[in-house]
Structure 1
Amino acid sequence: MSVNNPTLLQLNEVSRFFGGLAALREVSFEVSAGVICGLIGPNGAGKTTLLNVLSGLQPVSSGTITLDNKTLTGLKPHQIAALGIGRTFQNIRLFNELSVLENVMVGHHLKQRGSLLETILHLPRSTRAERATRTEAQELLQRLNMESLAKKSAGALSYGDQRRVEIARALALEPRVLLLDEPAAGMNSHETEQLSNFLLELKSNGLTLLIIEHDMDLIMRISNKVVVLSFGRKLADGSPEEVRNDPKVIEAYLGDEAA
């Protein structure tokens, strides 16, 4: 799965402290454009904290983060999202009472220029934007082969389909990099296989993905690169094969799974 694409996302000695505790300590790595990068490590290794600093939910204590040579360090979450970083979370955060189409439209609304007052008063610009948002959401669902779900209530979907809808909503912001936090958590084998194909299709369309995942079979199968964290530090990075055979990784994390 080696690729020679240009670097898109770069972390340089990124640290994040909570009081005297280092959740991340001098973490450096690069992610090329159009690849899947897996992020693994034991519980408490700093994986979710890393996604939080990448998306601006938590500030970096030291170090720098760049996206296509633009500095993200110090920016607010909405500014980082506007530059092209999308995010999903461990817990699914859909509006269960809304349809799938409406949930995806919420993602599109976040990039609209119209004000809430314009929307409430149904002013012309808001009405045009609403129609455009609906059309864009429908087209996105079609591209993702999810149009059959458009009218269904999000709360009535299977767990796997809810995950796909959450990813679709994040894609409505048209990110260049999508951060996924344990997307396969709670899925059965069939749902995991569907997710795998879905993520590979997104990559084939040019999206860059950084994925936290505890399903080692999934992450080693779909990733071009794997980064291993342990106690807030980068333990290793490289191809799935290189990481799987790294003695430090085997000792600290993979254990029998690497045998």
Structure 2
Amino acid sequence: MTDSIPDTVTNALEAVPVEDATALEAGAGVGNGTAGLLAADAETVYSVTDEVDHAETVRERCPAATVLQADLGAIPLPDDTVDVVVAHGLFNVLPNETAAAVAAELTRVAAPGGWLVIDDYGPHPSDSRIRRLFAVENALAELAAARPAYVFYPADELRTLFEGHGWTHERTTTLLDPVPWTQGHMDAHVDAARRAATGVPDEVADPLLRRAERLAAEGADPTGRMYSLALRHEA
């Protein structure tokens, strides 16, 4: 399991007191953060996701973790439970109102003196193809479901959000610069745009999909920054 943990997760957890801690990965995905917490010798690891397939993946990958299939706005844990919270690639899929609710809930379950580690992507350069590809995907998602697929928050914006809940900033570091957006990533986001387009009239969706396909056809687009933000809960 250790070999499959991304370096971004391992590097983000450096200098964070994970050993013997009660830890939580918020928005488990495929469980990279969960695996990283277990490898760093957390005593108890909770992995929270509202996706059935993600929950099954993490249970298989990380049997030592306790997987909670739940909304991040209503985590089934008592107040002041968790020493270390990891949100690896979570906030970019949360629109503003959802991010605010999740911040409040992560604060509720965090123990006094606890740590929060947020790893995410900053806004992409305005002239980058990946930014334009995400713009197409977001446009289709907004048309289909009235919410964007992605929101790329600057690190300072998330810092301000959590400081409003009593957290203290410890450090901000760069995990990737540039982010290696590969051809596979580009193609995957075209596929995601196609899925979003199923809820959009063809005369609107088709020009957007053609634009997405042209952007991806130009190949990989390494650009932008992935950061790690660490805060402590002093309440």
Which of the five TM-score ranges fits, normalised by the shorter chain?
0.3 to 0.5
Q: What TM-score, normalized to structure 2?
A: 0.34
Higher gyration radius (CA): 1
- Normalized against structure 1, the TM-score is what? 0.31
